[in-house]
Amino acid sequence: MSSVNDPSGALVVGVDSGGSGLRIALAEAAGGAVLDTRSSREPVPTGPGGISAGHFLDQVLPAVRSLTEPHGSRPVVAVAVGAAGMATLGDELRAELPGALAEAWGVRRLALAADAVTAYAGALGQRPGAVVAGGTGMIALGTDLRSWRRADGWGHLLGDCGSGAWIGRAGLEAAMRAYDGRRGGSAALLARAERLFGPVAGLPGALYPRTDRPAVLASFAPEVGRCAAEDPVAADILARAAGHIAEAAEAACPDGPGASVALTGGLFKLGDPLLVPLRAALGELVPRAGTVEPAGDPLSGAVALAAALATGTLRLPEDPALLRLFVENAPRAASSAQVGGGA
């Protein structure tokens, strides 16, 4: 077993597991510089016990083996895994991963994180603030480094207000309103909906039987963005989305000065039609925080978590639903743990 008393030689692994696949990075424990990465387009399946630990390990272990091979005897001392649905779906992973990693490489430090936490660590590192992760869904996560504050992320029926699914759904509603001759309709959005999906009278039959309804809705969000310059209905949808996103950032962001807000994820590729009203809304609702560009992505966040765990410098707070640490001999106080070399 290596000791992080010798961090110059120690390595860490960060894993980002999401709906679109798995990405794995090998990095220096000291400093967190990434040495190499692997990725797989095959998402890890989820079963009744959550993310399948067997499938996960089947993908991760060989990838890490091939990543570490060129680095001879340098030991992997910490692993951090960020995964969508970790909070609610990670029971099996939590039960099996620590033992499996200890057995495979003697890894004694493991972090299991919700994807919003790796997004946070990637975007803001270990500073206090709030990160809004937006894509098909939308969640804001903030911390004052004592506890986490989460806002939204409740899915397309209960929330995700301002997300890609939310914007796309509102755009399609405006298309149907135009089709019906109801108020609030947009002929421009109707034309784009028919171009994308065919005659809109067939849209209910095409949408409702699908299991990826939120993704189908979100696929219309870029069309709303493209209409916004000329179409007041589309512009209003994006202005309302911006307001909802800022409300989530406001709720998640710690009080007091010195906090930063970062926006991360594909949602913000909608560009100015969303970002201009969003900057205005953030300035109004979260004036205490400065908005910064995210420093990195969720994979770099997983690496940062693993490196901090390896070097005993983790400041982001543990949380049963968001960030679980498994550190041998010091499971509850990793951030201030003495670095132990024992068995």
- Give me the residues that bind a copy of itself (CB under 8 A), please: 88, 149-152, 154-159, 161, 169, 172-173, 176-177, 180-184, 203-205, 207-208, 213, 217, 247-248, 250-251, 285
Q: How far is the CB of 239 from a copy of itself (least distance, A)?
A: 15
Closest approach, Cβ 169 to a copy of itself, in A, equals: 6
Nearer to a copy of itself, 100 or 139 (CB): 139
Secondary structure in 3-state letters for the chain = CCCCCCCCCCEEEEEEEECCEEEEEEEECCCCCEEEEEEECCCCCEECCEECHHHHHHHHHHHHHHHHHHHCCCCEEEEEEEECCHHHHCHHHHHHHHHHHHHHHCCCEEEEEEHHHHHHHHHHCCCCEEEEEECCCEEEEEECCCCEEEEECCCCCCCCCCCHHHHHHHHHHHHHHHHHCCCCCCHHHHHHHHHHHCCHHHHHHHHCCCCCHHHHHHCCHHHHHHHCCCCHHHHHHHHHHHHHHHHHHHHHCCCCCCCEEEEECHHHHHCHHHHHHHHHHHHHHCCCCEEECCCCCHHHHHHHHHHHHHCCCCCCCCECCCEEEEECCCCCCHHHCCCCCCC
Of 74 and 156, nearer to a copy of itself (C-beta) is 156
Which of 158/343 has CB closer to a copy of itself? 158
Whether the Cβ atoms of residue 23 and residue 39 lie closer than 8 Å to each other? yes
Query: Least distance (Å) from a copy of itself to the CB of residue 206?
Result: 10
Contact 16, 23 (CB under 8 A): yes
Residue 10 or 113: the one with the smaller Cβ distance to a copy of itself is 113
| Residue 157 CB, nearest approach to a copy of itself (Å) | 6
Beta pairing partners, 303: none
Cβ at position 264, least distance to a copy of itself in Å: 19
* Minimum CB distance to a copy of itself smaller for 133 or for 310: 133
Closest to a copy of itself by CB, 243 or 317: 243
**Shortest Cβ distance from residue 183 to a copy of itself (Å)?**
5
Q: Measured from the CB atom, is 213 or 269 closer to a copy of itself?
A: 213
The neighbouring-strand residues paired with 17 are: 22, 83
Closest approach of a copy of itself to the CB of residue 154, in Å: 5
CB closer to a copy of itself, 38 vs 149: 149
CB of 167 to a copy of itself, least distance (A): 13
